């Protein structure tokens, strides 16, 4: 074999040795096929009912692992909440789903329509948006010098098929599409309760209304899956009630909602299912009430095992009707055999002033 042929063979061998290392860094990779058991193992459901499925996602930044074999499934029309301490990898997961980050391992399958799967890993963000995935951000990203209507119009233009030349020449189909875009933007402002703010600058709106305006702009892209990254952050109780009602209305239109949120009151009132991340791994998945009592979730938030959390709470009076250990801390539900209950204060320490995400030993800066 010639020197050139030997060189090509070695390069080909490298590609086989590191199929999950597209940049060829030579870093040690997880062996394909050696799949870590997932909390989703055994979770049933018709595959035709899925809107998105992430499979064994791993994302690393140098020596820091942000996602470590994360798998996630969401059914069509479902409101799924992703919770976890700060730095758990929640926003990194969103970034992988929307093309902002490319994971070193794993895949993301999205079904815009039943029976029409599309791989999202490797696609650019604008391509994923056109497929039907939209998102908002932790920090509001509006165009402050544009009106509320113009901000939403930017979202609707994703679906318009005319080019800049058609606009310059004022061709009939471009004018018609522009009128339809304005009409659709007004409808979305009405949906989020901001029609009376149509011509006001985005920068002049109250904080809670800016949050809703960003959601309206995302809806302008006509998504099948809407990702909301901490939409209730910084809002007051009245704004949170309005937000909860809005998310419910959005889900009622057939849009699946994937939600990152620290406010457990909001999560418990909205989510069909809850997935919990900690240190880049999925540690729990299920109905909100079950996840709230999961010992692994309690340990992730409080930095202690469930038994230790119960002991730290001190003895709790029991009645003869008690069937098992009582919940840690005061609760209106009384004694229960389901184990300690992680209350809203522990999940939402930033708002309540108590222990919560970022205040315990697992608090870290969110990656991505």
Q: pLDDT, tens digit, for every residue of 304-363?
A: 655 554 554 455 444 434 343 443 433 333 434 444 555 554 444 333 333 333 333 333
Between residues 43 and 332, the one the model is more confident about: 43
- Between 148-152, 274-278, 331-335, the lowest mean confidence (pLDDT) is in 331-335
Pairing of strands 225-229, 133-135: parallel
On the question of pLDDT at 174 being above 90, the answer is no
Give me the pLDDT at residue 124, please: 95
When pLDDT is cut at 50, 70 and 90, the band that residue 173 belongs to is confident
Evaluate whether 57 touches 67 at the Cβ level (below 8 Å). Answer: yes
The three-state DSSP-derived secondary structure of 7-65 is HHHHHHHHHHHCCCCCCCCCCCCCCCCCCCCCCCCCCCCCHHHEEEEEEEEEEEECCEE
DSSP 300-351: HHHSS-HHHHHHHT------TT--SPPPSS--TT-S-SS-----HHHHTHHH
Task: Specify whether the CB–CB gap between 266 and 237 falls below 8 A.
Answer: no
Instruction: Report the mean per-residue pLDDT for the chain.
Output: 77
Confidence of residue 159 (pLDDT cuts 50, 70, 90): confident
- Of the listed ranges 23-27, 137-141, 153-157, 236-240, the least confidently predicted one is 23-27
pLDDT at 160: 76
Reply yes or no on whether the pLDDT at 225 is more than 50.
yes
Instruction: For residue 245, name the pLDDT band (cuts at 50, 70, 90).
Output: very high
pLDDT in tens, 70-129: 999 999 999 999 999 888 999 999 999 999 999 999 999 999 988 889 999 999 999 999
pLDDT at position 204 is 95
The Cα–Cα gap between 343 and 293 comes to 9
Over range 245-254, report the average pLDDT.
93
Residues 175-195 have a mean pLDDT of 90
Where residue 135 falls among pLDDT bands split at 50, 70, 90?
Answer: very high
Band (pLDDT 50/70/90 cuts) for residue 284 is very high
pLDDT, position 180 = 86
Instruction: Kindly give, in sequence order, each residue whose CB lies less than 8 Å from that of residue 325, ignoring residues fewer than 6 positions away.
Output: 310, 335, 336, 337, 339, 340
Mean pLDDT across 51-56: 95
CA distance 226 to 328: 35
What is the domain partition of the chain in residue ranges?
Answer: 142-222, 294-352
Q: Which pLDDT belongs to residue 337?
A: 40
Predicted confidence at residue 2, as pLDDT, reads 46
Q: Is the pLDDT of residue 251 over 70?
A: yes
Q: Is the model's pLDDT at 167 over the cut of 80?
A: no
Confidence of residue 48 (pLDDT cuts 50, 70, 90): low
Looking at residue 46, its pLDDT comes to 54
pLDDT, position 205: 95
- 233 Cβ contact partners less than 8 Å away, ≥ 6 residues apart: 138, 262
Residue 181's pLDDT is 85
CA 169 from chain centre, in angstroms, equals 42
The pLDDT value given to residue 280: 93
């Amino acid at each position: 074999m010639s020197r050139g042929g030997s060189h090509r063979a070695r390069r080909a061998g490298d590609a086989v040795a590191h199929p999950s290392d597209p940049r060829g860094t030579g870093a040690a990779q997880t062996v394909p096929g050696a799949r870590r058991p997932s909390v989703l193992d055994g979770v049933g459901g018709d595959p035709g009912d899925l809107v998105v499925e992430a499979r064994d996602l791993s994302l690393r930044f140098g020596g820091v692992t942000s996602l470590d074999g994360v798998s996630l499934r969401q059914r069509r029309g479902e409101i799924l909440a992703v919770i976890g301490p700060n730095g758990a990898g929640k926003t990194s997961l969103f970034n992988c789903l929307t093309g902002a980050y490319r994971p070193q391992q794993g895949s993301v399958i999205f079904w815009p329509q039943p029976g029409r799967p599309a791989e999202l890993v490797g696609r650019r963000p604008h391509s994923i948006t056109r497929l039907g995935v939209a998102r908002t951000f932790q920090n509001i990203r509006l165009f402050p010098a544009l009106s509320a209507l113009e901000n939403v119009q930017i979202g609707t233009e994703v679906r318009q098929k005319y080019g800049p030349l058609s606009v310059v020449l004022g061709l009939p189909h471009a004018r018609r599409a522009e009128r339809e875009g304005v009409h659709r933007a007004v409808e979305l402002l009405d949906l989020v309760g901001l029609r009376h703010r149509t011509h006001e600058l985005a920068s002049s709106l109250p904080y809670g209304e800016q949050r809703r305006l960003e959601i309206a702009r995302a809806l302008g892209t006509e998504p099948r899956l809407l990702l909301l990254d901490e939409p209730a952050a910084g809002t007051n109780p009245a704004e949170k009630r309005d937000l909860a009602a809005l998310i419910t209305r959005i889900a009622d239109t057939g849009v699946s909602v994937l939600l990152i949120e620290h406010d457990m009151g909001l999560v418990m009132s909205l989510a069909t299912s809850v997935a919990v991340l900690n240190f880049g791994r999925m540690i729990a998945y299920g109905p909100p009430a079950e996840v709230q009592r999961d010992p692994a979730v309690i340990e992730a938030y409080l930095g202690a095992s469930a038994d230790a959390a119960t002991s730290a709470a001190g003895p709790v009076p029991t009645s003869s009707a008690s069937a098992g250990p009582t919940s840690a801390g005061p609760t209106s539900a009384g004694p229960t055999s389901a184990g300690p209950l992680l209350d809203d204060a522990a999940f939402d320490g930033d708002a309540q002033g108590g222990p919560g995400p970022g205040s315990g030993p697992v608090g870290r800066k969110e990656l991505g």
